[in-house]
Homo-oligomer: A and B are copies of this chain.
Amino acid sequence: MKIAVVEDEVAIADFLERGLNAEGYEVRVAADGLTGERAALDPDVDLLVLDRMLPGADGDAVLASVRAARPGLPVIMLTARSEVADRVEGLDRGATDYLTKPFAFDELLARIRARLREQAGASETVLAVGDLRLNLLTREANRGSLSIRLPEREAGLLAHLMRNAGRVCTRKEILASAWGYDHDPGTNVVQVYAGYLRRKLGLPGAPLPLETVRGVGYRLRAEG
């Protein structure tokens, strides 16, 4: 389990990192909004602990852009602003939970566990990358005015690419994730299915931003 911590006060950031590490979580710390945003978009990150007051882009801005890219990511806001109105505002802006400083570390841990537990049971159902959306339950894909139901394999491939948008995915890795193959059985299925996706999700003048990386695999460009 990997947690991103966005917090500018070094003392608190250190404290959180050490404490979370001790609980067995992998931690990625960012001290300002911009690096925080980048950290939260790392597809391995399962949860975000976010200070609301930050230098550079402030916490609310980070929250907004994280929500746009990963609608389902749990975000626990952490802040010195303790008024009821602040809490209401934080939650309504899309935070999953809200904790005011000073806080009990044990409670933070319990709330992290609660969020991760929920996440595990009700794993992310809707993926979004740029203007692309994919509902994993109905396997409905949307892009602009397009709306198509994808067959299972195509949806699985697209889901993997979307979860790793911006990164190059090797064919081997894709076969493992979307096909469940442990070894490449020397086939070109991935290419075939990449072709299906391009044809189905291409718009006139705006082809699917799926790049081929010769000899390696594919990359879905992040901003549609």
Contact = CB atoms under 8 A, between A and B. Distances in A.
Contacts of A122: 72, 119, 122-126
A199 interface: no
A26 interface: no
A107 B121 contact: no
B114 A96 contact: yes
Interface stretch (A45-53, A83-91, A171-179, A206-214): A83-91
Nearest to A83: B104
Given A96-B118, A114-B95, A118-B96, A107 B87 contact: yes
A71 interface: yes
A137 interface: yes
B110 A71 contact: no
Contact of A91 (B88, B94, B111, B137): B111
Contacts of A84: 104, 106-107
Interface residues of A, number: 31
Oligomer copy total: 2
A65 to B, nearest CB: 17
Given A84-B104, A97-B97, A104-B84, A92 B121 contact: no
A84 B113 CA distance: 15
A31 interface: no
A92 B111 CA distance: 8
Contacts of A114: 91-92, 95-97
A13 interface: no
A61 interface: no
Interface of A: 71-72, 84-85, 87-88, 91-92, 94-97, 104, 106-107, 109-111, 113-114, 117-119, 121-126, 136-137
Given A72-B121, A92-B113, A121-B125, 14 more contacts: A71-B121, A84-B106, A91-B111, A95-B114, A96-B114, A96-B118, A97-B97, A97-B114, A119-B122, A121-B126, A122-B122, A122-B124, A122-B126, A136-B137
7 contacts: A71-B121, A72-B122, A85-B106, A91-B114, A121-B125, A123-B125, A137-B137
